[in-house]
Structure 1
Amino acid sequence: MRTATARRDPARRRLDALTFALFSVALGTNVPTPLLLVYQDTLDLSEAELTAIFGCYAIGLILALSVSGAASDRFGRRALVLPFGIVAGLVSLLFIPAAESLPLLYAGRLLQGAVSGVVFSVANAWLQELSGPDRQQSAATRGAVSTSLGFAIAPAMSGLLAQYGPAPTALPYLVHVAVLVVGLAALALVPETVHGRRPARLMHLGLPPEARRPFRALLAPTAVGVFAFPAVAATLLPLLVVPDGVGVAYAGLLGGLALGASAVAARVGRSVERGAPLGMALGAIGHAVGVVAVVLQFEPLLLPAAALLGAGGGLCLTAGLTLTAQLAPPATRGAMNSAFYAFAYIGFGTPLLLAWLGSVVGTLPALAGFVAVPTALAVWLWLELRRRA
């Protein structure tokens, strides 16, 4: 018994080290989110410009995801995670002077998206391989929870430091860099899982023929809910309804609550059969509550809205990563994780889309009409899973 435990401990330490490294990169992703209110004042930005800054993150992600997974299948996981993890710290430092420069804000978010696209997709493939074929669901949960916790802690930490601490547009980024240094150092414990260069195209989805229909019918629609829901809760809703006097801290609280609920839901919602449609349904309900909060200008309603939206995103994340691990062959695991994350990060453009629709048809009609999208997807996923069963 003692010998078996001793054998398991190094494997557990390696998994913990990679999980913490993933968390440390995810922590930097949402540091700028509550600071959008500060940038709005210092740079006199419109709501459309703020949502554009947030949304251009998705552009960097999709560009990176188009090559990162396949590249890691060919060259190895460490060859991408470690250098792009270092770039994540440099990008956080870039945000410090960006407080007085709109072009630097755009550049920072674009680069942040590229870094996140590489690290999240490749690190999850790495986790799946370290865990072994019998613990794929556990690997999916680890990846989902560590990412969601990083997303959740960042806006709360950033909002509080910006509201009550010194150097509001610098200190949150410096804290992230300090945590990131520890996370990247932990990668020294993690062995490479890709041995020998695998010949492969650098731009492909990694989908075997039998996985193409499940990907289109289940994985892609589930992925969209992963970040669309928390993004609306963390950015668009606080911009529309923010209490006077505690704007930055309150925006950080909302972002932290949404992404904290996502982390909790990611931990408990492991079933693909229930997680995907239930996540969409919770997202629809949370968005509807957010619409009511905007109509009534009643800030306390944003709290349950954020929690429901975040929980919906967390359920979609774990269900999607679990299904990805089940469908992906080892030679294309990185590429298929990238394909899932590519669809997931399309959701980051939702606040920008809603802001644009609001400028065309009005804010309230755009917000209210969007409720139909996750509602329809919840019904679709439930019917599709029932058909497959």
Structure 2
Amino acid sequence: MTSSGGDVARRGAAAARKPWLVVFWLIFICSYAGNQFTPLLLLYKQVQNYSTTVVNEFLGIYVFGLAPALLLAGSLSDRHGRKPLMYAGTVAAILASVSLAFSEYGTTGIFVGRWFAGATVGIAMAVGNSWLKELSEGPYDLAADPQAGARRASLAFTLGSAVGALVAGLIAQFSSMGEWLPFVIHVVVTLPFLVILRSVPETSTTGGTQGPLWNQLKIPAAGHKRFTHVVLVASPWLLGGAAIAYGYLPVLLSDASGDWGLGYATLLTVLTLVVAALVQPFAKRLDSPDSARGLVACLAVTVVGFSLVVVAVARDSLVLGVVAAVVVGVAIGFGLVSSLLEVQRIAEPEDLAGLTGVFYAVSYCGFLVPAILSSLSQWVPVTVLLSVLVALAVLTTFVLLANYRKHLPTGR
């Protein structure tokens, strides 16, 4: 047996002992696939000379892969099993990187790659998170605490997103291979999981197709008042914070960063996501089924982070931009763990993946914020628009406080 085959065999044996580890790394590599493109935006503008409009289209096509996957994959896996959908997500991750590796030959590869990247992240979030939760409890992991599934899923997502951006950004900043090498590396890392995935036990027990397709897509728990009035109120701010911290802020500070703009964008991306991962043990302690203090803390810290963004832009300060990214990372870590724990308490086993998909679909609406602000900045100064965003975050915090008191019980 070759050393490569031996590695796959050893990983397969580890999966038999701790199957949740395989799904953790699957979510990691899918998130890696989705975020490795983010720090390369300046590369496509400066090296390949694409216009701002075309680059924004590269970003936008991601949503057309992401949204259907979030809304469909979870419900389908609740009926047909987690494993088939995660196989599809892993293949989509490989196809995304293969397509993007040929980006220097035209826009088609980028558009196709970004669509597949959106699909793989959507499947990982909706299906992978639910599968990881189910494998983080008996009989698969008797030592795990009740919060382990949400904590592990959130950690895999944030670390994968951070590492994908870090690898791609560093290669692009310090070499001439940034247009293809990051994607080749990702393919090499991902391929073994097509074999390892076979060893993971199926956890969906709802038993095959039941009725027409429309019935498969219904998610009864999505109407739960705790979900609609508490979780969904906070969710757009989670990834909206990410979009501002490492999507929009590097653009606003591009004059200050100069030739190091790509490296600075990479720094903000990685820093935000690593901090989000590091604070998750503290987020676990904040969570409580008898209050919404984890989500309230998320929004309160978001207000502070956005306020720092306003000051950083007003002063054209790279240092304050870094501080703002750290604070927003804390908010994201608090919010992701608390939201996923809420979802897992609310959902029935047969619609856990579907409800997780709805949560992430609404959360990803936050990525539209930079595009909206950029459009409005033609008429209103950016600092004013960002200040309005701070005010809206404060208002949302008070709305959340009022709502959770009305819909206190997390139970069904």
Normalising by structure 1, we get a TM-score of: 0.90
State whether structure 2 residue 210 is matched by structure 1 residue 199.
Answer: yes
SS in 1 for 2:149: helix
Query: Unaligned regions of 5+ residues in structure 1, if any?
Result: 1-8
**Distance in 1 of aligned mates of 2:53 and 2:146:** 41
1:373 deviates by: 2.2
Query: Unaligned regions of 5+ residues in structure 2, if any?
Result: 1-13, 139-143
1:28-77 residue CA offsets vs partner (Å, 9 max, x unmatched): 11111111010111343454543443244233211222211111111111
1:11-43 residue CA offsets vs partner (Å, 9 max, x unmatched): 761111111111111111111111101011134
| 8 A Cα contact 2:33 2:96, kept in partner | no
Which residue of 277, 288, 301 corresponds with 2:320? 301
| 8 A Cα contact 2:36 2:164, kept in partner | yes
| 8 A Cα contact 1:88 1:115, kept in partner | yes
1:244 deviates by: 1.7
1:127-180 residue CA offsets vs partner (Å, 9 max, x unmatched): 122223784421000100110111112212211111113411111112222222
| Alpha carbons of structure 1 residues 51 and 265: separation in structure 2 relative to 1, 3 Å | farther
**Distance in 1 of aligned mates of 2:304 and 2:60:** 23
| Alpha carbons of structure 1 residues 356 and 71: separation in structure 2 relative to 1, 3 Å | same
Provide the alpha-carbon RMSD of the alignment. 2.2
Q: Give % identity.
A: 28
Letter of the structure 1 residue corresponding to residue 273 of structure 2: L
Q: Which moved more, 1:285-294 or 1:375-384?
A: 375-384
Aligned twin of 1:4: none
SS in 2 for 1:112: helix
Letter of the structure 2 residue corresponding to residue 315 of structure 1: F
State whether structure 2 residue 116 is matched by structure 1 residue 111.
Answer: yes
| Alpha carbons of structure 1 residues 388 and 358: separation in structure 2 relative to 1, 3 Å | same
Letter of the structure 1 residue corresponding to residue 180 of structure 2: A
1:360 deviates by: 4.1
**Distance in 1 of aligned mates of 2:277 and 2:61:** 24
Alignment of 1:1-389 (within 5 A): 13-47=18-52, 49-99=54-104, 101-132=106-137, 135-195=145-205, 196-199=207-210, 201-202=213-214, 204=217, 206-208=219-221, 212-242=224-254, 243-270=257-284, 271-272=287-288, 273-389=292-408
Letter of the structure 1 residue corresponding to residue 277 of structure 2: A
Number of residues paired by the alignment? Answer: 380
Q: RCO higher in 1 or 2 (8 Å CA, sep ≥ 6)?
A: 1
**Distance in 2 of aligned mates of 1:275 and 1:16:** 26
1:87 deviates by: 1.4
Aligned twin of 1:5: none
| 8 A Cα contact 1:43 1:100, kept in partner | no
1:192-219 residue CA offsets vs partner (Å, 9 max, x unmatched): 112421516456452348x521111111
Normalising by structure 2, we get a TM-score of: 0.86
SS in 2 for 1:194: coil
| 8 A Cα contact 2:303 2:393, kept in partner | yes
**Distance in 1 of aligned mates of 2:392 and 2:71:** 26
1:124 deviates by: 0.9
| 8 A Cα contact 1:51 1:355, kept in partner | no
| 8 A Cα contact 1:52 1:352, kept in partner | no
The structure 1 segments of at least 4 consecutive aligned residues displaced by more than 6 Å after TM superposition are none
